[in-house]
Structure 1
Amino acid sequence: MKLIRRSAIILIALGLLSLYFFGFRLSASALKTNQTIEFERTDFVDAETLNDNNKLVASNDLFNLYLDETTSYFKVEDKRSGEVWQSNPTEKDPWETDPSKPITNTAIEKQKSTLELTYVNKNGSSATINNYTTSIAHPGNAITKDGLRTYSINYIDGGFQVLYRIENLDIDYLFFPKYIDKDVFEGLEKRRILESLAYTGFDEEKNAYEIKAYESMSGIVRDRLYQIFYNELGYTLEQTIEENKAYGYTKEYEKIVFELAIQVLLTEKGINTSIIKDSIKETGDVKIANIALYPLFGTAISHIDDKETEGYIVLPDGSGAIIEFNNGKYYQNPYRKRLYGQDLALLPYKMREQQQDITIPVYGMVKENGGFAAIITEGDTMAWINADVSGRIDSYNNAYVSFSLRESEAITLGSGFSSYGITLWTKSIVDTDFTVSYEFLTGSDNTYVGVANSYRNYLREELGMKVTDTTRNTVVSTEMLGAYDKKEFFLGVPYNTTRSLTTFKQAKKIIENLEDEGINDLNVLYAGLANGGLSNDIEASFDIEKVLGGKKGFDQLVKSLGQKDIDVFASVNLMTASKYNRFFDQYAYTASRLNGKQAFAFNYHYPSRLPYTETTYEHSANDFVINPLYYQAIYNKLEKDFDYDQIHMATIGSKLAGSYDKANVVYKEQAIYLQEQLLKQIDKEVMLSNPLGFAMPYASYITDLPTETTLYSIIDDQIPLLQLVLSGLVDYSSTSINLSSDRSIDYNFLKVIETGSNLKYTLSYDDSKELINTEYNNYMSTHYVNWVEDIKEQTEELNRLGIHKGYLINHERVINNVYKVTYSSGLTIVLNYNLSPIVYQGKTISSMDYFVVQGA
């Protein structure tokens, strides 16, 4: 009987343990299968049989699309302006006829290519090739006729597709035996010719004649050897490989062949160019890492008829940036940046330099007679924007997109002198086509404002963004800092406790204080509200911190402020967690790196730029990065406890994380879909912080838009591209003015005026000195009593100007560091960021000041 009872107890205990560890599991979301471009190889016609070099493929009221079948180059004629946009330059680069210019064959071939590929082999070595000499026009040799075309064309409704077979048809040195036995060689009829051409050495040990310059033979030598060995002696490549192996030379000929198709369609606004995912074929273990699509499309030459070309490249870096044509900065690094910032699942083990991210998938080029806005509509999470100026390798200023087909992670094996680095790659290609949509600009639209308007229209027409900005006065976003964890000591024994910077009653007092100063247009973002405070646990529930006043206190605050039309946005974070509820959850719900390890959102030690966990300094552990498959399930559980009408998504819509477990890879492309499905479901007012383009239509209010760009040396100026897109569509604010440590309050306030932003301040009731010796000392300027007067003065000034009675419709640089902005209400302001006064239309504008040219 005792044995039965004991067995029953053990079974119950095991059942409870199993229930604890494996029961009540979160359900993973399903991934969608993308609708990719239909592709069938049998529809294509070999270009060798085609010869029309100016075929009209498609036409509409505004544009004509032509294709040169002999090169696969296309051009678009803009009927409005007469401007012709070419996929490739068709005239010889002036550098080719100037002996003082160091142009290379590689640069010339790039100008003639439509694709540039970077690939990696099974050993991890990478190489970059273009498709000019490997598909569009093969150089002639003993096998291949000069100009051979290995591509084919398929005409479709409104455009065309080109299928490129990319391979090097040149004769490789491995076609020939490195060694030939002495007796065999001396018996050859062509011995003297072979000696003079290549076999200049004799290896006594092997008793064989040898090609000393084996791997560096010239093309002429290889062609002549091919005629002798293959046409006269009847050699085969297999025979050569076997002979080389017999003499200990085991390097084999690696035939690399890629196939991929691109599609070009004429639209009512311009063209769509795509890499067709289903067309891509690779060679064995050789994988394509990156493809640049039409790297010379729309490029601007440095001079036309000895006159320097005028214009600029528009970039979405931070708030926005421009690179002037021919700016002479060819000695600086060219611009190359991936969209949407870092993948949280693949954060580097050494902190990157401080910089702004790209949040909208648009760039552009403005030339004298026309411009374009390029919107990356598919494959944007894998896209890189590249830009460069004339003078580096050729005469062209250019901007283009390249796409990573896979994710990668660099790792180091071994240690000390025996350490070496390798790069890991995901096996499969991301499931998407790669599309860039070009809208051609003319007349008054041919500016960076026109580029912004193109993306603004895309948000409304394609992504369904509605106009929600109905405010007429300045809205002040007050970010309240709630609970935080702090290490305390009892009898010398350390322990963690939860402390408060701003209770709910204190938050109400701050708001009342602001109202007493006449500031009534407010909203509240409450950070550190629940589930551990500023360092949150997994948000699978909504447990409001008792130290702040608990659920009852928060309910009272929401009700009280709601009666004054003040919204309270409770901040939640679904993408990272300091800890899970159950031990084994970290293995179930944490994203994976490519190296098989769990993904962490590193807390970096700034002086060393290493994660704290890699230093000797005390700090809490890194946060777990949550697998995007579980966002929906976590939110569904959170929502059961969340009884409020406003929510602030601290990371969803603003950051991206994949997960790279070999058995279940989730690319960022799929993570966007998962985030979008979640945002569609939320039936509340949503506040987002500096959202990515796809998330903007779901925002009721946006905070933390950058007002500056990354100050790369090649960049010439910063512009409010992001704000020109959003102004008048949705209310937005700048980053918190009082948290900036590298710019003055006056500078940041001028940026608010220039960008049509609302104000944001991060506040706490208690003195932020309490955060000294905690992990939150970045909030060292939040004590609200220090900022009430500034908030009052700035709000009154913005309302007096009437900034928000209209929306931003134009922006232009007057002179260096002086800008003129125009609002739809008629308000026009000139702002001077110089350290000295300037004179504009007879009016002196002081340093860090502005002048109202025309009132609202």
Structure 2
Amino acid sequence: MKNLTRLIPQGLVLLLLAGVAVYVATHLQIGRINRSVSAAASNSPGALKVSPGPAELPDESKLQTVGENDRLTLKLDAKTAHFLVQDKKDGRVWRSYPNPAQWSRETTVGLWRTHLRSPLMFQYADLTSNKSQPKETNFLEEQGTIQKLETFPGGFRLTFDMPSKKLSVPIEVKLEGDSVVTRIVDSGIKEENLSLLWLRLYPFFGAERSEEQDGYLFIPDGSGALIRFQEGGTNATRIYQEPVFGKDLAYQLKSSDDYRDNARHKISAPVYGAKSGDRGFLAILEEGAEYADLLASPAGAYSTYNWITGQNNYRQKYRQVTNREKERSFDTYNKEARFSGDRVTRYVLLDSQASDYAGMAKRYRTYLMKAYKLNQLPPGSGKVPMDIIVVGGDSAKGLLGDRYVKATTTIDAMQMIQRLYGLGIDNMAMRYWGWQKGGYGETGGGAVVDSRLGGEKGMKDLVTFAHSLNVPVYLRTDYSRNTSGAGGFSTRVHGVRDLGGTPIEKFASLSFVRQLVDQDIRYFRELGVDGVELQGIGQYLSSDYNSKYGASRKESMGQQQAIITKLREGVGKVLGYRSSLFAAPLMDGVARLEDDFSNDLFSEDGIPFLQIALHGLIPYTSMPSNERDQFNKQFLRDLEYGANPSYLFTGSSSEDLKYVQNLTYYSPSPQDWEQTAVQEFQKWNQALGDVQHEFITGHRILSKEVRETTFGNGKRIVVNYGTSAYVYEGRPVEPENYLVLQGGAKP
């Protein structure tokens, strides 16, 4: 050491010695914790009968600290593998089990009482037997034991072992910044005769009863919805359960199932959350979201607690056809087809001032910006861009087959742009649908501009004219379904197949699709268009059991992301259509972003969660104004949700188009709507023109019919959907009207 001090400055030596001391002390402490928790785990009686009462839940006075950072402390009950996380700043606590202060009032008995106490629920089946039915149980019910428990800096890892089922599940739990992150380690899962169908890890994280609670569960239903805590609720078994990113087409159980079924709004973002008083969390499914369902259970359904969780699916029922005509089938599971990959959930523990749904959405925005390297949009011209959608052509049933119906030529489109621009809509973009040979219903890539619309020359002339007015032009294309035979497509050879081997309509395997994209990129460049609008890609997500081109659902997600990236690099901008959040962050805009919810009996309030997360990062629209069911109320919602305007026009009247097969037009004639479009453009600019690049920093439900949205520059928009006036800070907001306050101005 003396020789060393001659070569190294004394201050640096002291610093090195201090670092060594901290390292040794830390690892000695970890060693002591390891020995202590291992001893506790080995002495665990498993799920021996426990008398109803406090002893059913962990004794928090005996929990041991197994991890901490500058904000949070992680404590573990080694006997049950339950944990709690405490905020060092204010002492608030989040638990992996129901709030014990309310446990004495829990009346649930039997299996569900054990479920509530268990760190792990699961469903299994004996797939070696044709008569086996799925069964649901949990770690405590099976008198499981905790194996291989050890700590590491910031967390712990262990294995849940259920000898009765010959099933083992390894997990990890650790602190990361403002979050606690759980992981199911897929490579360590062991099954024998019994097969896992799903796992729910720590399903009652943050579970709370309703009494005296200002709380709710946040579900990503459509744009977002709240299930508010209600005292004395009796919801029977009505719970929310939906697959993340929508249905997997390869597992539809009935031949009548339709991928276009939109009776319910899909989950576009892999998130959920809960708020109880000043405690809130946002859960993000970081890995395995494509194989997850989200469940939310209000108090009164199964128990007296409100709880929400992700269900990690490992197998799913599918339809096995038994005859050539496909009229006979049975539903079953495949033992070998287990969905692989780790399942990771990040529980972001929110500051007390940001524990509401707006705080959840803002925190998700931060997460997206980091994960996808997104930046805030630059300031614009002060005017919102209005999307003008035109439809070139479509098909209609004829006596001897389908016939082509021309709707809007490239000359018609030029005239529309010119007239609307002259009327004052001087910031717009054109999205051209049905431009390809055969019209809107002909999809699959490799298309050319239909000569009846003006052909390639007509499209180039349209683009040149539009650019003279600074109007970008986007061509819609749908690679997900191939109805035109582009690229030599054959459903039998190149089509997506379900697990039973049956082709799914005209859906094309993505490995085949990627071969078509390069050809189209060259064609789009020749036309000079500014980009493409993608339908299907980013909208649907399916496994594919095509023996040559097949892909898992996770691989399909990656393939779609690769297609989006390739088009952006090769053509320019890429817009999505009803895109999910595995695709939207890679795009330059989203058309028809989810802006409503499913209106379940237990969820009364729709919220703009997606919009709060995306505004200022990615532009988006809702439905075209002239396609609305409730014109004025949906205009108000567009303002509340910060959406850009859009209109759908054709060069032909709705009477000429009433027999087309693929689109339904309410009133597409620009002559009927141009004055309204101009008026809306002016209103939109007054409300949203200067906040296109601003984040939404706040959103409040002021009453059943009144909402307030706040933007980053302080501007507030208050909308009143009701039939009577509402007084906001001394100012009246008239029925079915809105109020704009600049920069947070007071009356």
Smaller-chain TM-score range? 0.7 to 0.9
Q: Does 2:76 match 1:76?
A: no
Greater shift, 434-443 or 384-393, is seen at: 384-393
Give the Å deviation of 1:782: 1.6
* SS of residue paired to 2:545: strand
Residue type at the aligned position of 2:65: L
In structure 2, what is the equivalent of residue 810 of structure 1?
A: 698
Q: Does 2:134 match 1:126?
A: yes
Cα offsets for 1:170-219 (capped at 9, x unmatched): xxxxxxxxxxxxxxxxxxxxxxxxxxxxxxxxxxxxxxxxxxxxxxxxxx
CA 1:550 to 1:738, structure 2 compared with 1: closer, same or farther past 3 Å? same
* SS of residue paired to 2:620: strand
Residue type at the aligned position of 2:589: Y
Residue type at the aligned position of 1:164: F
Give the Å deviation of 1:672: 0.8
Give the Å deviation of 1:516: 1.5
Give the Å deviation of 1:421: 4.2
Does the aligned pair in 2 maintain the 1:276–1:434 contact within 8 Å? yes
Q: Where do residues 417-428 of structure 1 align in structure 2 (5 Å cutoff)?
A: 421-425=330-334, 427-428=336-337
CA 1:785 to 1:776, structure 2 compared with 1: closer, same or farther past 3 Å? farther
Q: In the aligned structure 1, how far is the partner of 2:270 from the partner of 2:489?
A: 38
In structure 1, what is the equivalent of residue 653 of structure 2?
A: 767
CA 1:702 to 1:419, structure 2 compared with 1: closer, same or farther past 3 Å? closer
Does the aligned pair in 1 maintain the 2:203–2:308 contact within 8 Å? yes
Q: In the aligned structure 2, how far is the partner of 1:411 from the partner of 1:781?
A: 44
Give the counterpart of 2:150 among 151, 154, 159. 154
Q: Does 2:520 match 1:638?
A: yes
* SS of residue paired to 1:484: strand
Q: Does 2:70 match 1:61?
A: yes
Give the Å deviation of 1:637: 2.6
Does the aligned pair in 2 maintain the 1:477–1:759 contact within 8 Å? yes
Does the aligned pair in 2 maintain the 1:801–1:855 contact within 8 Å? no
Q: Where do residues 11-160 of structure 1 align in structure 2 (5 Å cutoff)?
A: 48-49=41-42, 53-89=62-98, 91=100, 94=103, 101=107, 103-122=108-127, 123=130, 124-136=132-144, 149-160=145-156
What is the number of equivalent residue pairs in this alignment? 674
Q: Does 2:509 match 1:597?
A: no
Does the aligned pair in 2 maintain the 1:372–1:440 contact within 8 Å? yes
Q: Where do residues 463-502 of structure 1 align in structure 2 (5 Å cutoff)?
A: 463-468=372-377, 470-471=379-380, 472-489=382-399, 494-502=400-408
Residue type at the aligned position of 1:159: G
Give the Å deviation of 1:466: 2.8
Normalising by structure 1, we get a TM-score of 0.75
Does the aligned pair in 2 maintain the 1:310–1:367 contact within 8 Å? yes
Residue type at the aligned position of 1:378: E
* SS of residue paired to 1:787: helix
In structure 2, what is the equivalent of residue 23 of structure 1?
A: none
Q: In the aligned structure 2, how far is the partner of 1:414 from the partner of 1:585?
A: 21
Cα offsets for 1:40-78 (capped at 9, x unmatched): xxx996864367942211111000111111111111111
CA 1:747 to 1:411, structure 2 compared with 1: closer, same or farther past 3 Å? farther
Does the aligned pair in 1 maintain the 2:395–2:662 contact within 8 Å? no
Does the aligned pair in 1 maintain the 2:389–2:646 contact within 8 Å? yes
* SS of residue paired to 1:715: coil
Give the counterpart of 1:394 among 300, 303, 307. 303
Q: Does 2:187 match 1:302?
A: no
Greater shift, 646-655 or 831-840, is seen at: 831-840
Give the Å deviation of 1:420: 8.0
* SS of residue paired to 2:702: strand
Residue type at the aligned position of 2:441: S
In structure 2, what is the equivalent of residue 800 of structure 1?
A: 686
In structure 2, what is the equivalent of residue 201 of structure 1?
A: none
Residue type at the aligned position of 1:585: S
CA 1:95 to 1:74, structure 2 compared with 1: closer, same or farther past 3 Å? closer
* SS of residue paired to 1:438: strand
Does the aligned pair in 2 maintain the 1:318–1:707 contact within 8 Å? yes
Give the Å deviation of 1:110: 0.8
Residue type at the aligned position of 1:459: L
Give the counterpart of 1:629 among 506, 511, 531. 511
Residue type at the aligned position of 1:456: R
Give the counterpart of 1:513 among 406, 419, 436. 419
Q: In the aligned structure 2, how far is the partner of 1:498 from the partner of 1:426?
A: 48
Q: In the aligned structure 1, how far is the partner of 2:63 from the partner of 2:384?
A: 56
Does the aligned pair in 2 maintain the 1:47–1:153 contact within 8 Å? no
Q: In the aligned structure 1, how far is the partner of 2:482 from the partner of 2:244?
A: 25
Does the aligned pair in 1 maintain the 2:319–2:499 contact within 8 Å? no
Q: In the aligned structure 2, how far is the partner of 1:432 from the partner of 1:288?
A: 14
Q: In the aligned structure 2, how far is the partner of 1:818 from the partner of 1:458?
A: 29
Cα offsets for 1:646-667 (capped at 9, x unmatched): 1111221222122124787522
Give the Å deviation of 1:419: 7.8
Residue type at the aligned position of 1:49: S
Normalising by structure 2, we get a TM-score of 0.85
Cα offsets for 1:753-808 (capped at 9, x unmatched): 10111101111111122222331351232222221112111110121234543442
Does the aligned pair in 2 maintain the 1:326–1:397 contact within 8 Å? no
Does the aligned pair in 1 maintain the 2:509–2:549 contact within 8 Å? no
Give the Å deviation of 1:712: 1.1
Residue type at the aligned position of 1:546: S
Q: In the aligned structure 1, how far is the partner of 2:715 from the partner of 2:675?
A: 26
In structure 2, what is the equivalent of residue 216 of structure 1?
A: none
Give the counterpart of 1:573 among 478, 485, 490. 478
CA 1:359 to 1:329, structure 2 compared with 1: closer, same or farther past 3 Å? farther
Cα offsets for 1:565-588 (capped at 9, x unmatched): 111011111110114258773222
In structure 2, what is the equivalent of residue 671 of structure 1?
A: 556
Q: Where do residues 735-774 of structure 1 align in structure 2 (5 Å cutoff)?
A: 735-740=623-628, 743-774=629-660
Greater shift, 80-89 or 58-67, is seen at: 80-89
Does the aligned pair in 1 maintain the 2:146–2:158 contact within 8 Å? no
Residue type at the aligned position of 1:677: A
Give the counterpart of 2:574 among 680, 686, 691. 686
In structure 1, what is the equivalent of residue 218 of structure 2?
A: 314
Q: In the aligned structure 1, how far is the partner of 2:179 from the partner of 2:113?
A: 27
Q: Does 2:704 match 1:820?
A: no
CA 1:346 to 1:626, structure 2 compared with 1: closer, same or farther past 3 Å? farther
Residue type at the aligned position of 1:91: P
Q: In the aligned structure 2, how far is the partner of 1:528 from the partner of 1:270?
A: 47
Q: In the aligned structure 2, how far is the partner of 1:791 from the partner of 1:469?
A: 26
Does the aligned pair in 1 maintain the 2:509–2:546 contact within 8 Å? no
* SS of residue paired to 2:189: strand
CA 1:723 to 1:535, structure 2 compared with 1: closer, same or farther past 3 Å? same
Identity over the aligned pairs, expressed in percent?
24
Structure 1 stretches lacking a partner, 5+ long: 1-42, 137-148, 169-255, 601-623
Q: In the aligned structure 2, how far is the partner of 1:71 from the partner of 1:90?
A: 15
Q: In the aligned structure 2, how far is the partner of 1:707 from the partner of 1:582?
A: 36
Does the aligned pair in 1 maintain the 2:394–2:404 contact within 8 Å? yes
Does the aligned pair in 2 maintain the 1:300–1:398 contact within 8 Å? yes
CA 1:288 to 1:797, structure 2 compared with 1: closer, same or farther past 3 Å? same
CA 1:817 to 1:414, structure 2 compared with 1: closer, same or farther past 3 Å? farther
* SS of residue paired to 1:554: helix
In structure 2, what is the equivalent of residue 847 of structure 1?
A: 735
Residue type at the aligned position of 1:574: Y
Q: CA RMSD in A?
A: 2.6
Give the counterpart of 1:265 among 174, 180, 188. 174
Give the Å deviation of 1:292: 1.2
CA 1:764 to 1:274, structure 2 compared with 1: closer, same or farther past 3 Å? same
Cα offsets for 1:137-178 (capped at 9, x unmatched): xxxxxxxxxxxx35331323321112011243xxxxxxxxxx
Q: In the aligned structure 2, how far is the partner of 1:664 from the partner of 1:132?
A: 43
Q: In the aligned structure 1, how far is the partner of 2:247 from the partner of 2:437?
A: 26
In structure 1, what is the equivalent of residue 56 of structure 2?
A: none
In structure 1, what is the equivalent of residue 12 of structure 2?
A: none
Does the aligned pair in 2 maintain the 1:407–1:426 contact within 8 Å? no
* SS of residue paired to 1:735: coil
Residue type at the aligned position of 1:311: G
Q: In the aligned structure 2, how far is the partner of 1:506 from the partner of 1:414?
A: 51
Greater shift, 86-95 or 427-436, is seen at: 86-95
Does the aligned pair in 1 maintain the 2:200–2:311 contact within 8 Å? yes
